[in-house]
Structure 1
Amino acid sequence: MILGKCPYCKGNVQAIKSTANGKKVNLYSCENAKKEYDDSEQFVFTSDSTCTFRVYSNVFLRWNKRSFSKYEMKTLLEEEQVIVRLHGRRGTREYFKYVITDKEYGVSILWDEEVEEKLISS
């Protein structure tokens, strides 16, 4: 399933079902970011890869967000930012933050930017 255009090379970003650490997740990957296992069993980019944009749907698990949805990724690719709902360590506190694309990590949370209340409810 194609979700949009890569923010770096304008290739198609696809949703691919994958397994990470024994869990089934979606991998949102640019069609030009190809990886394979090398001789030392490391998962590395191939020699013909021209992009590195890859994001796993469980990227925000440490903030108690189980999945970064296809809809959220599509919105991120279209609008260059998306608002996500995160939770405190015990799951009792809820807060909203902007997420943007990041060349090194795929996506980053803007911790210093506050999301306006009216944007959350819409």
Structure 2
Amino acid sequence: MSILGNCPYCKGKVISKKINVKGKNIKLYFCENAKKEYDDSEQYVFTHDSTCRFRVYSNTFLRYNKRSFSEYEMKKLLQEQQVVVRLHGKKGGSEYFKYVIPHEEYGVTILWEEEVEEKAC
């Protein structure tokens, strides 16, 4: 585990941790105050003492053919409140760049309407 920066919402430490999900090794970036556990019905839920919900899985952009949201990208996002990511169209064809910003409910979100300036890449 390593500390990447401060949470954009509660200023707690954002930690990177390697996990295995459905047989795939990925990284989970999460605020130290966003604690989860399995409840009685085997649902993975936030604990009663969680005070934050900031969590991002490194494969969050897989549907846009981006294999991994890297630790470097997460650090930059935490420092600058935005980062430019490279995404790909279906079947890996076209390539395009978009801004990603923190999102309180989903961890991160893509700004689809914003055009990325070339020097920002």
Identity over aligned pairs, percent: 71
Could you list the structure 1 runs, at least 4 aligned residues long, displaced by more than 3 angstroms after superposition.
Answer: none
Do structure 1's residue 61 and structure 2's residue 62 form an aligned pair?
A: yes
> What does residue 36 of structure 1 align with?
37
> What does residue 103 of structure 2 align with?
102
**Structure 1 residue 90, shift from structure 2 partner:** 1.2
Do structure 1's residue 11 and structure 2's residue 12 form an aligned pair?
A: yes
CA distance in 2, matches of 1:84, 1:9: 25
Count of equivalent residues: 120
CA distance in 1, matches of 2:62, 2:42: 25
Question: What CA RMSD, in Å, does the superposition of the two structures yield over aligned residues?
Answer: 0.7
CA distance in 1, matches of 2:22, 2:76: 27
Give deviations 1:19-76, integer Å, cap 9, x for gaps.
Answer: 2232110000000001000000000001111110000000000000000000000000
Aligned residue identity for 1:87: H
CA distance in 1, matches of 2:92, 2:115: 20
CA distance in 2, matches of 1:68, 1:37: 26
Aligned residue identity for 2:47: T
> What does residue 115 of structure 2 align with?
114
Give deviations 1:61-108, integer Å, cap 9, x for gaps.
Answer: 000000000000000000000000000001010000000000110000
CA distance in 1, matches of 2:117, 2:99: 11
Where does the alignment leave 5 or more consecutive residues of structure 1 unmatched? Answer: none
CA distance in 2, matches of 1:73, 1:118: 19
What is the DSSP-based 3-state SS (H/G/I as helix, E as strand, rest coil) of the residue aligned with 2:67?
coil
